[in-house]
Amino acid sequence: MFPTEDYPALLVGLAEPDDSAVYRLDAERAIISTVDFFPPVVDDPYAFGAIAAANALSDIYAMGGEPVFAINLVAYPDGYGLDILTEILRGGAEKVREAGAAIAGGHTVTDKEPKYGLAVTGVIHPGQIITKGGAQPGDQLVLSKPLGSGVITTALKNEKAQPDHVEAAIASMLRLNRDASRLARSYGVRAMTDITGYSLLGHGHEMAHLSTADFFIQFEALHWLPGAFDYGQQEIFAGGLFRNLDYFGQWVHFEGDFKPFERDLLFDPQTSGGLLMAVPPENLAALMHDLALAGDSARHIGEVRAGNGRINVYKSNV
C-alpha cells in the first residue's frame, strides 16, 4: 500500500522495522516519531508516569536522536480519583522536562484499566541515524542498563517483591538513555536498539537479522538487577516471556549448562531497558569508560560475527 519508492523522504519506517520512524526535511534535518504506552508497572502513580515517559523517549534515543516534544496518551477509568491521574501526568511531565523536551498536549479516553504513555517527536541529522541493521562482524556488543525489570515488576504485582529490589528496578527504569545515546553517536556505534517488551534476545535477534549477522552473548557478562535471579528461580514471570520464547526461541542457541530459569530470564519482557549497541572494537574501551563516567551501568556482553540472525548465548566454561 505504501511502496518505499513513493516516499523517498521517509528514511526509516517502511522498508524495515525499527524503533522509530524518521522523515527527512532537508539535507541537515530529519524528524523522528514514535509512540508507546502501557498499564502501570509499579504502584506509585508518579513513578509509573515517569517510567512510561522514559520508556517512550527511549525510542528516540535508540535512533541516536534528541526529543523535542511529546503528546500525552491517557486511558483512565471512570470513578478513579483525579489525584492519581495528576501524579501520573506530573511524573511524565517531569521526565520529559529532564530530557529537554516539552509536553505539547495530549488525548484522554475512558478505559477499564489505567494506561499512560507518549507520542514523541525528535530530531536528528539524516546522516547520523543509528538503525538496528548496521552491525558488522567484529563489532562488540554493549548493553547500557542491567536486566530484570520485567520479573521484578511481575513479583511486585504478585506481592512477592522485596522493597529494596523494587526500588533498584524503579531507579533503573527511570534513567534516561540520553547519555548512552549521545555517547553511541560519539563513538561510531553502527547499530542500536532499546531493550523493552521483546526481551534481550528478541530485540537482539531483530538487530542481528537486519544486520545479516549472528550475535554471540556471554551469559556471565550480563548485569542483573538485585532480586532478578531470586524471582526467576521462583518462576514469577509475565505472560509476555512465553510469547517471546515461542516466537524468538527459534533463532536462539544456548551453549553450556543453563538452568531453565536462566534461559527464561533472557526472554523476560523489560520496561525502559538499556540500549544494546554494536560498536567498532577499536572504540569499545573509550565508550565503556565514558558510559561509566556518565553513570550508566554498561557491560560488554558479546560480539558480532557473520551469520543470518541467530543469537548464541554461551557460558565461558564451555
79 — pLDDT class (breaks 50, 70, 90): confident
Residue 14: the pLDDT is 84
Residue 77: the pLDDT is 96
Q: Give the C-alpha separation, 318 to 300, whole Å.
A: 19
Q: What percent of the chain has pLDDT over 90?
A: 96
Q: What is the pLDDT of residues 119-129, one digit of tens each?
A: 999 999 999 99
Average pLDDT over the chain, rounded to whole?
97
Domains and CATH numbers, the chain: 4-127 (3.30.1330.10), 131-314 (3.90.650.10)
Residue 275: the pLDDT is 98
Pick from 277, 263, 126: which is nearest to 215 by CA?
Answer: 277
Q: What is the pLDDT of residues 82-97, one digit of tens each?
A: 999 999 999 999 999 9
Radius of gyration (Cα) for the chain, nearest Å? 19
Dihedral of the CA atoms 199, 278, 131, 91 (nearest 10)?
50
Residue 81: the pLDDT is 87
pLDDT at 294 over 70: yes
On whether the CB atoms of residues 192 and 139 are closer than 8 A, the answer is no
Q: What is the pLDDT of residues 5-63, one digit of tens each?
A: 999 999 999 888 899 999 999 999 999 999 999 999 999 999 999 999 999 999 999 99
Residue 15: the pLDDT is 85
Residue 317: the pLDDT is 64
Mean pLDDT computed over 196-210: 98
Residue 104: the pLDDT is 98
Q: What percent of the chain has pLDDT over 70?
A: 99
Q: What is the pLDDT of residues 134-192, one digit of tens each?
A: 999 999 999 999 999 999 999 999 999 999 999 999 999 999 999 999 999 999 999 99
On whether the CB atoms of residues 70 and 104 are closer than 8 A, the answer is yes
Residue 221: the pLDDT is 98
pTM for the model stands at: 0.97
